[in-house]
Structure 1
Amino acid sequence: MDFFKKNRMIVSVVAICCLMLWYVLWTTLAVLHINRQIDYVAGHPYKAMSEVSRIQGVVSQTTAYLPILLADGENNLTEIRQILVAAQTKNQKSLQVLKEVYLGNPYDLTALEQALSALEKALLQSAEVFESNRSGAVQHSSVKEHFAVKIEPLQAETEKAIKTVMASADRRVLMIEGETDERTKWAIIYAGVSGLLIVFLMLYTLRNEFQKNKLLLKHQLILQDALNSAKKANDAKRSFLSRMSHEIRTPMNAIIGMTTIAFNYLDDQKRLTDCLSKITFSSRHLLMLINDVLDMSKIEDGKLNVNNEVFDLKKVIESLTDIHYQQAAARGLTFELTVSGFDEELLIGDPLRVNQILINLLSNAVKFTPKGGSVRLDVRKLRRQGDRLWLRFMIKDTGIGMEPEFLKNLYEPFEQANNGVAKKYGGTGLGMAITKNLVALMDGSIDVQSEPGAGTVFNVDLPFGLPEQAENKAAVLDELKVLVVDDDRDCCEHASLLLQKMGVCVDWVLNGFAAVDKVKAALENGEGCYDVCFIDWCMPDLNGIETARRIREYVGPEALIIIISAYDWSEIEQQARAAGVNAFIAKPLFASSLYNTLLTVAQKGQLTAGETGREQIKYDFAGKKVLLAEDNELNAEIAVELLKLVGLEVDHAANGQEAVELFQQSAAAYLMIFMDIQMPVMNGYEAARIIRNSDAAAAQSIPIIAMTANAFRDDVQAALDAGMNGHIAKPIDVDILYKTISEYA
């Protein structure tokens, strides 16, 4: 069956040839048969009929003319005898031929021969009768009587025998004609069927050949496209490797160079700090490059996954502000971040992937926006259905924009607008491909509008789950009266929405002059002073500090004035406090930060800047001991120093076997175990399993945390399957490290 499928053309041609040969043979045989039938008919039935007809003619002629000749007189007797002898001779010849060609019953010829013989004798006797009766009347009467009595019955018998032979020959002719007609009919049918089959097979063959050619052409085009794509991908990857070489060597050069410089300025604290800061920055940049490459590899292998866990959107937004405000400020850009239209903070999703998506887009926006431009992140609600919330993250910049041709390939890996962009701005060309795949994995969507020289706008729509949340509203907030002052209408409406859901009476205005007039009118009308005034720092015409100074002149010390700022307020803190500002709160505004601020006011507590700003957590685990299993001396040194910085005492094991032995010797002494995975003698997985299965009292309860460069999701799951409690990826993020320790301390 496979042979026929693979060789349809050959099979069709062979079938056509066989049919044509069969057609030719059948037609030839049919013609030969018909010719034989024609020859047969001509040589037998028709010849027999011809001879019988000749006999019939002779008999008719003889019996018709003999009486006439006899009536003419004596002179005709000799002629009559000659005619009768000649007729007899003709009939004998015809009978002889009939015996050779007649195909009917031989008895028919015998009967005919006997009838002819009797008739011929009777005719000869008529001459003798004529001769014996010489008188005219007697002669005529005797001849007539002789014909009536003798000749006519014999003539009738002869005619009957002739008709029998002719009928037999005629039947034979009709039978042969019927056979010939039948044969001809089937010959025509077979010829027609054969012709149709040949035509069908030829059309089928031509169709197959056409389809085959079409398929070959299609495959040729596909192969050509694949070849072009392969060449393009090869060129892109070659360019990517070239860029990666440059991108990796740049931070590596900074790390190596700054390390060398630091060694030469060990006594210069300021210079040393500067070098270490640049080494840290370059190291993080290098890690970002490596993560991009690894993420792209996981995407191509179909191994990239997202988690679903409860996370705090406020922390994600704050981290984005911390990162990109500094980047934007360093490049002379304005950075804004707003949240509006919803009060949910705890969401179900993958915070790391959300953070990665937004960092990619914001980093590009900052990178491709020239000095004096602006970058803005706007987070707003699209819709909510049951326990699902759809948010839109809009990233807008006033950067260089993109050409329409490039937008078509924006999400292709290794693509950048041109080599000039790569050389000027750097990057791997993987960020947008990773972003697109992450958005798709989270069941979201991404679109872009961009014009060269006019900036770019990305809209990322992502769905999130909503956990069950307990009501967190204090009744005392109902008594508060709050004024919000901001030149951004969305910010005012968002703050108003959050405060109204808490039961607070809130008013808002769009500039400092209106705020002063609002406070003044409230006091003059006897409506009472506002308990809290939230005032944006950066407003046109009358900024937040001047607005606060003027409001303080009217309200005195009673009202609480809080400056709203999206930026680092340390440079204005002294000036603001001199103007009567009590505290500061960071943009974007969240329900929790507003609630905590108002709750402090309602409870008459002392509000400080630290309570509304972002606190720097300080960890102290003095008096506690941990076990570190790490075979690399440099990595061990780094981990030990990081752990000692927060007061921990550290025992170090160079492999899994040593870690098991140290644990068995003094299990109760350790707060937790940090376990590397790839170690000689015994790896981390095996060591963890042995510890969990040991007889030590703390074997089941002691936290074991994987601390490894195996950072894929499968590696995390493998660590959990081995009995470990968590996973920290190298290079070590100290915040994650200390936060993990605090969970078990």
Structure 2
Amino acid sequence: MKEYRKEIVNAIFTNYIVVYEIDLDKDLISLVYKDEGEDLSNFLDEGRYSLINSKYAINQIEKEYSREFERRGAIDNLRRELKEKISFKFSFAGYDGKVRTVEYRRVEALDNDDIRKVLMSFCRLEDDRASAFKLKKERQKHRDLLEEELNKIKEISQSKSRFLSNMSHDLRTPISSMMGYINLANMHLDNRELVEDYLKKINTNCDQLLGIIDDVLSISQIESGRVTVDEQKFSINEVVDEIVALITPLANKKEQELIVEKSYENDEVLMDKIKVEKILINVLNNAIKYTHRCGKIIFRILAKGDVADGNLGYRFEIEDNGVGIDKSFLERIFEPFERENDREIAQIQGTGLGLSITKEIIKVLDGKIDIQSVKYEGTKVVIDLSFKPFRQDILAKYEDFNIRNLRRAEDIANQRTFNKKRFLIVDDNEANLEILSTFLQDLGATIDIATNGMDAIKIISDSDIYQYNAVLMDIKMPILDGDEATREIRKLDNRTIASIPIIGISANVYPMDKERAMDAGMDAYIVKPVNVDELLRVLKDIML
């Protein structure tokens, strides 16, 4: 009789792997049937049903299905759904990689249709159904991924639109001012004092325009991972004094009180001075821009003593009583191109890149930055940086020698003039040729020009020994660029002519561009627009 019952049970449950009985009143689950060859470790245990159902959903079922499994199998839901129908099914994917379908079927109901017991059965899926379910699941994953990528693209597009809008405004502002002052200067050519004032204002707007371009290029460098650290010896006091000297006129212009509080030893350290100054000037500039006229800005420099690896730690605090930053915007303050939407600061120029660049440079230097602010009360920025101490015991013996040679070079250079000097300027841009030629001719030099690298090679190869004191070589030119022209000049048979000093002059500002030029054989590299003081220094240095 028992065998007969077993056969009946097997026949009834032939399409099921495991069957459980759930007593809804007692909150218990017990095993009714299982396939003899099936491992129960991937199914439910016996015991308190609500806990076991929740545990199984978390531990055995993929996340996207687990919540639905737990909800559909909850006692309250079983009573509700099985009151309306005899059974319902739910398919899901398990962490073991298998696709399963669970079926809930009511067994016993009272006269009032209150459900007391339910059979919970795990069905066998035919291969084609399982494959169809997996395919559906994969398609859904692909749709989710596509949607995620689409959202990213939309976000990037919106970010670019904001950036282009900000850049259009911020680039047009100084350009518009320059055009206006040029027109005014043309109208008042007979008034030297007025024209000089207009020229100063044009120069200020040029600096503003270059600052915007530098910010964009800095972001590009950071995103491409091309930022390197160039550590040299500087005293902390020297760097701080330079920063204060640069920032004081800006504060004075707005009649602001700039307070500098120092609490440190004048340590000599190894630092990337350019990056440190950029960080601090960016933040101090912001403090001045976003603080009202006659406001107060405090610049504190504190020594933190030794930090990790024997480095010397310093804390830089910039505190102002300006317009402050809204708490909701503080969370996005370091994101590129983001600016607070506030009418009070809408007229203040900025691309929303300054703090983003600042944070990334601080990260490169292994430092930290923290911003605390209260809207309409002020802002405090705290920057922690550490530097390697300058090792006097190793480097001091070279110091006196270097200083003597540097002073000697400066003395000789200061005695030099460009009378009887001759330069070859190589550039395909007519304006650049005119500006450089006129500037050097006004200093007494003789100038020859070439408009491409091939012509420059011919002029140099046909020249007499010492006919030219130096070549000012543009990089991007037609026919043959500056790097290739330099390589060919260095290969000339006459080794004296081949060793002529060559200065690269280019609008390419990345370190890799300078490295490429130096590898080609150039003696120096200057970035456009040319700073005349730097050009004079470089020319004097290479002619020593």
**TM-score calculated relative to the size of structure 2:** 0.68
Q: Is the 8 A contact 1:667 1:697 kept in 2?
A: no
Equivalent in the alignment of 1:461: 384
Please tell me whether residue 628 in structure 1 is matched to residue 410 in structure 2: no
Give the partner amino acid of 1:330.
K
Give the partner amino acid of 1:441.
V
Query: CA-to-partner distance for each residue in 1:297-328, whole Å, 9 max, x for gaps?
Result: 22223333332334565554444333321111
Query: CA-to-partner distance for each residue in 1:253-307, whole Å, 9 max, x for gaps?
Result: 1111111221222221101101110110001100111111121122223333332
Paired residue for 1:653, among 426, 439, 450?
450
User: RMSD value over aligned CA atoms?
Assistant: 3.8
Shift of 1:367: 0.4
Please tell me whether residue 705 in structure 1 is matched to residue 494 in structure 2: no
The 5-angstrom pairing of residues 150-189 of structure 1 reads none
2: CA distance between counterparts of 1:650 and 1:244? 39
Equivalent in the alignment of 2:322: 399
Give the partner amino acid of 1:636.
L
Please tell me whether residue 356 in structure 1 is matched to residue 278 in structure 2: yes
Please tell me whether residue 303 in structure 1 is matched to residue 226 in structure 2: yes
Once the two structures are overlaid, the 10-residue window that deviates more, 190-199 or 702-711, is 190-199
Equivalent in the alignment of 1:293: 216
Give the partner amino acid of 1:651.
D
Shift of 1:430: 0.9
Q: Is the 8 A contact 1:338 1:379 kept in 2?
A: yes
1: CA distance between counterparts of 2:516 and 2:330? 40
Equivalent in the alignment of 1:420: 343
Question: How has the CA–CA distance of structure 1 residues 663 and 412 changed in structure 2, closer, same or farther, with 3 Å as cutoff?
Answer: same
Paired residue for 1:366, among 262, 275, 288?
288
Once the two structures are overlaid, the 10-residue window that deviates more, 687-696 or 189-198, is 189-198
Equivalent in the alignment of 2:109: none
Shift of 1:232: 4.6
Between the aligned residues of both structures, percent identity stands at: 33
Paired residue for 1:259, among 158, 182, 189?
182
Question: How has the CA–CA distance of structure 1 residues 674 and 418 changed in structure 2, closer, same or farther, with 3 Å as cutoff?
Answer: same
Give the partner amino acid of 1:709.
A
1: CA distance between counterparts of 2:466 and 2:251? 50
Q: Is the 8 A contact 2:233 2:270 kept in 1?
A: yes
1: CA distance between counterparts of 2:367 and 2:385? 5
1: CA distance between counterparts of 2:245 and 2:443? 24
Q: Is the 8 A contact 2:237 2:266 kept in 1?
A: no
Paired residue for 1:728, among 522, 526, 540?
526
The 5-angstrom pairing of residues 663-742 of structure 1 reads 663-664=460-461, 665-699=463-497, 701-742=499-540
Question: How has the CA–CA distance of structure 1 residues 253 and 311 changed in structure 2, closer, same or farther, with 3 Å as cutoff?
Answer: same
Paired residue for 1:433, among 337, 356, 374?
356
Q: Is the 8 A contact 2:319 2:378 kept in 1?
A: yes
Query: CA-to-partner distance for each residue in 1:89-130, whole Å, 9 max, x for gaps?
Result: xxxxxxxxxxxxxxxxxxxxxxxxxxxxxxxxxxxxxxxxxx
Give the partner amino acid of 1:273.
E
Give the partner amino acid of 1:741.
L
1: CA distance between counterparts of 2:442 and 2:239? 26
1: CA distance between counterparts of 2:473 and 2:532? 16
Equivalent in the alignment of 1:333: 256
Q: Is the 8 A contact 1:401 1:451 kept in 2?
A: yes
Please tell me whether residue 279 in structure 1 is matched to residue 202 in structure 2: yes
Q: Is the 8 A contact 1:619 1:738 kept in 2?
A: no
2: CA distance between counterparts of 1:27 and 1:216? 31
How many pairs were matched up? 419
Shift of 1:698: 2.9
Shift of 1:190: 10
Query: CA-to-partner distance for each residue in 1:539-580, whole Å, 9 max, x for gaps?
Result: xxxxxxxxxxxxxxxxxxxxxxxxxxxxxxxxxxxxxxxxxx
SS, match of residue 448 in structure 1 = strand
Paired residue for 1:245, among 154, 168, 173?
168
For the pair shown, which has the larger CA radius of gyration, 1 or 2?
1
Q: Is the 8 A contact 1:401 1:450 kept in 2?
A: yes
2: CA distance between counterparts of 1:221 and 1:191? 37
Give the partner amino acid of 1:632.
N
1: CA distance between counterparts of 2:439 and 2:382? 40
Shift of 1:236: 3.7
Q: Is the 8 A contact 1:671 1:744 kept in 2?
A: no
Any stretches of 5+ residues in structure 2 without a counterpart? 1-9, 16-32, 45-56, 62-90, 101-132, 397-412
Question: How has the CA–CA distance of structure 1 residues 734 and 374 changed in structure 2, closer, same or farther, with 3 Å as cutoff?
Answer: farther
2: CA distance between counterparts of 1:374 and 1:197? 70
2: CA distance between counterparts of 1:655 and 1:395? 50
**TM-score calculated relative to the size of structure 1:** 0.51
Shift of 1:418: 0.9
Question: How has the CA–CA distance of structure 1 residues 24 and 357 changed in structure 2, closer, same or farther, with 3 Å as cutoff?
Answer: same
2: CA distance between counterparts of 1:418 and 1:618? 52
Shift of 1:703: 2.8
Any stretches of 5+ residues in structure 1 without a counterpart? 1-22, 29-188, 474-616
Shift of 1:676: 0.6
Equivalent in the alignment of 2:119: none
Question: How has the CA–CA distance of structure 1 residues 441 and 219 changed in structure 2, closer, same or farther, with 3 Å as cutoff?
Answer: farther
Please tell me whether residue 384 in structure 1 is matched to residue 300 in structure 2: no
Shift of 1:356: 1.6
SS, match of residue 448 in structure 2 = strand
Equivalent in the alignment of 1:600: none
Shift of 1:621: 2.4
Question: How has the CA–CA distance of structure 1 residues 314 and 627 changed in structure 2, closer, same or farther, with 3 Å as cutoff?
Answer: farther
Paired residue for 1:643, among 437, 440, 448?
440
Equivalent in the alignment of 2:245: 322
Question: How has the CA–CA distance of structure 1 residues 197 and 311 changed in structure 2, closer, same or farther, with 3 Å as cutoff?
Answer: closer
Q: Is the 8 A contact 2:166 2:351 kept in 1?
A: yes
Shift of 1:670: 2.9
Please tell me whether residue 235 in structure 1 is matched to residue 33 in structure 2: no
Q: Is the 8 A contact 2:270 2:389 kept in 1?
A: yes
1: CA distance between counterparts of 2:540 and 2:12? 99
Question: How has the CA–CA distance of structure 1 residues 295 and 667 changed in structure 2, closer, same or farther, with 3 Å as cutoff?
Answer: farther
Question: How has the CA–CA distance of structure 1 residues 222 and 198 changed in structure 2, closer, same or farther, with 3 Å as cutoff?
Answer: closer
Give the partner amino acid of 1:622.
F
Give the partner amino acid of 2:517.
A
Q: Is the 8 A contact 2:235 2:266 kept in 1?
A: no
Equivalent in the alignment of 2:69: none
SS, match of residue 399 in structure 1 = coil
Please tell me whether residue 409 in structure 1 is matched to residue 332 in structure 2: yes
Once the two structures are overlaid, the 10-residue window that deviates more, 660-669 or 253-262, is 660-669
Q: Which of the two has greater helix per residue?
A: 1
2: CA distance between counterparts of 1:464 and 1:196? 62
Question: How has the CA–CA distance of structure 1 residues 342 and 194 changed in structure 2, closer, same or farther, with 3 Å as cutoff?
Answer: closer
Query: CA-to-partner distance for each residue in 1:198-236, whole Å, 9 max, x for gaps?
Result: 979x98874426999999999988877766665454334
Shift of 1:406: 1.1
